Amino acid sequence: RQKGPSTPATCDMRCNKLHRTTTEAHKHKRNSPKEKAFKLGISHSLIVAVLALTSHWSINFACAFSFVRSRGPTIALTMAAKEDSVNAGDKGRLLVSKFSSIGFSKSDGSNVRLILASQSPRRREILDMMGLTGRYTVNPSPLDESALQRELAAQPNLSPEEYARTLAEHKAQALGVEMVTTSSSEETEVTLILGSDTIVDLDGAILEKPVDESDARSMLGRLSGNWHKVHTGVAIYGLGLDDNQQPKLLTSFTDTARVKFADLTQKDISSYVSTGEPMDKAGSYGIQGVGGQLVEMIEGDFFAVMGLPMHTLSRELSRAIMLLDAK
C-alpha cells in the first residue's frame, strides 16, 4: 500500500510497470499451445476449403470449417485414406459399374438377364432413368395379388414394412416358377427377376389402390394435412444359378419415406380424383404426377415413393451381379 502522496514520477513508474506486465501476458498468451493450435486449425481450414473448390474431393464445407477446432489434420488424413481406398482396385458398388453385365442374352456379350416382374409404367421409368433402357424386359408376375393381400391382412402381427417386402418376394418368385415350368429343357440363362410393391402406411393402416372414386376421395381426405409413410418392398430372385433351376431369393428389403400432405379442400380432392390419376396408385396419389401438388414435404428417397428406391436398388443389383460373377 502506497504511503504518502503520489508524485508524477511515481505514477509514471507504476504505469510503465503495469504496461510491461500486460504486454508480457499477451505475448505469453499468443505463444501458448492453445493459441498455436487455434491458428493451426484456421490454416488447415483455409487449405481444405481451397482444395474443395479446386480439386475433385467431395468435401462437405461444414466438415472443412470444423478444422477451426484444430481437428484438421486427422480429418484430412481420413479423407485422403478413404479416397485412396476407393481408387485402389475397387470393382464398383453401384449398378452403373455393371452395365456391361446386363442384357437380353449371352449373344450380346452380357451374362445376366434382368426381368421386371411388374407392368407399372413408373417402375419402368425409374429403370430407364437408371440407364437400363434396352437392358431389361418386362414380364408381369402371374401372382394373384388380391388373394395374397387378403391373406397378409389377416396376419395381425405383420408390419407394413414386412407386408410390402413379402408381396415383392411373392411377385418375383411366382414369375420365376412360371418361367421354369414353361421353359424348354435347354439350360436356362442366368436371370435376375425384380419384384416390387409400394404401399401407403397411415398410422399403421395400409392404404392400397382405391377400388373406386369414392374410396380415392376417402383416402385423400384421411391423408390431408397429415404425415404418412410410403413403403416400397423390393425382391431380387435369381434363376438358372444351378442344376436345380428353381428361383432363389438373392436379396429383399423395404425402403421407407415419410410424406407430409398439405391441407386439402374438398374441391382440391374432387378435382384431383377427376383427373383419373389416383385410381391405380397406392394411397390414391402419384407423387411424380399431378399428385405432387398435394405433397408439402418428404423425408427419404423420392423414388421409393414413386415405386423403386433408385440408390438402394442400384446397390443391391450390383451386389447380386457380383455374387453371380463369383460363382
Q: Does 293 or 17 have the greater pLDDT score?
A: 293
Helix axes 72-87, 33-54, angle to 10 degrees: 30
pLDDT at 285 over 90: yes
Tell me the average pLDDT across 272-289: 96
pLDDT digit string, tens, across residues 156-175: 899 999 999 999 999 999 99
pLDDT at 52 over 50: no
Looking at residue 118, its pLDDT comes to 94
CA-to-CA separations, 114 to 58, 103, 136, 139, in angstroms, rounded: 32, 7, 5, 10
Q: Does 42 or 138 have the greater pLDDT score?
A: 138
Catalytic residue among 12, 197, 242, 255: 197
Helix axes 266-273, 213-223, angle to 10 degrees: 140
CA-to-CA separations, 74 to 66, 67, 68, 82, in angstroms, rounded: 11, 9, 13, 12
Record the pTM: 0.71
Looking at residue 5, its pLDDT comes to 54
Tell me the average pLDDT across 58-84: 37
Tell me the average pLDDT across 65-93: 44
pLDDT digit string, tens, across residues 193-237: 999 999 999 999 999 999 999 999 999 999 999 999 999 999 999
Residue whose C-alpha cell reads 490454416 in the numeric block: 43
DSSP string, 98-123: GGGGBSS-GGGT-SBEEEE----HHH
Looking at residue 277, its pLDDT comes to 97
* Catalytic residue flag (residue 197): yes
Question: Which helix H or strand E contains 321, and what residues bound it?
Answer: helix 310-326
**Which of 178-182, 216-220, 282-286 bottoms out in mean pLDDT, i.e. has the lowest?**
178-182
CA distance between the termini of the chain: 92
Tell me the average pLDDT across 60-74: 36
Looking at residue 318, its pLDDT comes to 95
Tell me the average pLDDT across 168-191: 84
Q: Is 4 exposed, middle or buried (0-12, 13-18, 19+ CB in 10 A)?
A: exposed
| Euclidean distance between CA atoms 33 and 21, whole angstroms | 20
